[in-house]
Amino acid sequence: MPLLHVKDLSIILSTNDGPARAVRHLDFHLDAGETLGIVGESGCGKSMTALALMGLLPEMSRTEGQILLDGEDLLQKTEDEMCRVRGNRLAMIFQEPMTSLNPVHTIGHQIMEPLRLHLGLSESDARAETLRLLDRVGIPNPTARIDNYPHQLSGGQRQRVMIAIALSCKPDILIADEPTTALDVTIQDQILELIQTLVQEEGMALVLISHDLGVISENTDNILVMYGGAAVEIGQTERIFDDLVHPYTQGLFAAMPKLGRARNARLITIPGTVPDLIHMPTGCTFTDRCPLASDICRNTPPPVVEVKAGHMVACHHVQEARHRKTEELFS
């Protein structure tokens, strides 16, 4: 049995303009110690999926399907029960290290909170553990830093504090939602390296969410590409990059400026913009921007085709998508 199994998950948000399907029929699983990357653009449902895992969805939302952690459905749990799971078995690192720490409490206080709540440590034990954690995440001089407020730390250091909080109860699964988007490349490098090391040493599973194919490529075993709330391609990271199949994945890869490419070649663009979730076709979510789209795409959800062992693509036109060059596809 996998550690985490997301089965046919749908998230529907009620908005003033009607229901928005933020996530539709998502299926994936995660084994202990595995690293999974979720990649996609804004509005693709990657953050909503993370919030659903943590039981932190906004109130105006409805879920369908199951999220099984060790066979127990998290969606059926009460808030009290979720409080014992959250931070304890599942922990999350948020995108904005500037706003996700409480500015009126010292960082020590914030790291001690889960330790006292979940592990029931005494004040002095929690403080000792906090010092160890700060050292572990690479904050220099923990004894001085423990009484600092968030504004006294740099962006990279704040993200390290967030990681320390997430690690404090030795969770089984660490969810990192765009952990480095607000940081410089050099700091991003340090933080990703730290997450990698910690995940390996503690044997945690990692769900890394990013819009950056480069970050995902270098830090994950498996990858899940989402568009408009649906999974479009899933498989082993290395294999997927050898053979991008879904037209969206191909377009996304081609649209990304890459170092060392001839600069005279134009970037390939995917026409149109990221769609809004209310007026999405009932079939394939990529229909409106897809060069291969036909009538069937708009109204019938695409079948999931296994193109190679473990490499699944949700597309009506897999063969065509596979055997055409990206340049042709989007010209």
Partner 1 sequence: MTEENREIPVLEVHDLVRHYRLPRESLFREPGFVYALNGVSFEIQKGRSFGIVGESGCGKSTLARNVMALEDTDSGSVRILGKEVVGLGFDKLRPLRRHFQMVFQDPYGSLDPHHNIGRIVAEPLAALGPLPKEEKEKRVRDVLVSVGLKPQDVEKYPHEFSGGQRQRIAIARALITRPELIVADEPVSALDVSVQAQVLNLMKDLQEQLGVTYMFISHDLAVVEYLCDEVAVMYLGEIVERGLTEDMFNRPAHPYTRILLDAVPKPGRGKKRERIKLQGNVTGQTERRKGCSFQDRCPMAQSVCREIKPPLAPVGEAHLAACHFSDEVRAKAATA
Residues in contact with partner 1 by CB under 8 A are 41-42, 154-156, 184-190, 192-193, 211-219, 238, 241-242, 251-253, 255-261, 263, 266-270, 273-274
Region class of 138: left (phi > 0), else alpha (psi between -120 and 50), else beta: left
CA distance 154 to 122: 30
* 118 versus 136: smaller Cβ distance to partner 1: 136
198-236 exposure pattern, b = at least 16 Cβ within 10 A, e = fewer: bbeeeebbbbbbbbebebbbebbbbbbbbbbbbbbbbbb
CB of 194 to partner 1, least distance (A): 11
Pseudo-torsion of CA 54, 55, 56, 60, nearest 10°?
A: 150
86 DSSP assignment: B
| Least CB distance to partner 1 at residue 235 (A) | 13
State the number of CA atoms in the 13 A half-sphere of 180 facing the CB. Answer: 20
- State which residue, 66 or 190, has the beta carbon closest to partner 1: 190
The CB-of-326 to partner 1 minimum distance in angstroms stands at: 12
Smallest distance, Å, CB 216 to partner 1?
A: 8
SS3 state at 7: strand
Quickly list H helices, 67-146.
79-85, 107-118, 123-136, 142-145
Q: Under a CB-based contact definition with an 8 Å cutoff, are residues 225 and 194 in contact?
A: no
Residues 240, 308: Cα–Cα separation, whole Å: 10
Place of tokens 């990681």: 163
Q: Which is nearer to partner 1, 76 or 331 (CB)?
A: 331
Rank residues 82 and 274 by Cβ distance to partner 1 and give the closer one: 274
Q: What is the closest distance, in whole angstroms, from the C-beta atom of residue 147 to partner 1 in the complex? A: 20
Burial (CB count <10 Å: 0-12, 13-18, 19+), residue 18: exposed
Instruction: Output 69 or 164, the one with its CB closest to partner 1.
Output: 164
Measured from the CB atom, the residue of 6 and 161 that comes closer to partner 1 is 161
Closest CA to 75 of 92, 54, 59, 91: 54
Report, in Å, the least distance between residue 8 CB and partner 1: 27
CB of 263 to partner 1, least distance (A): 6
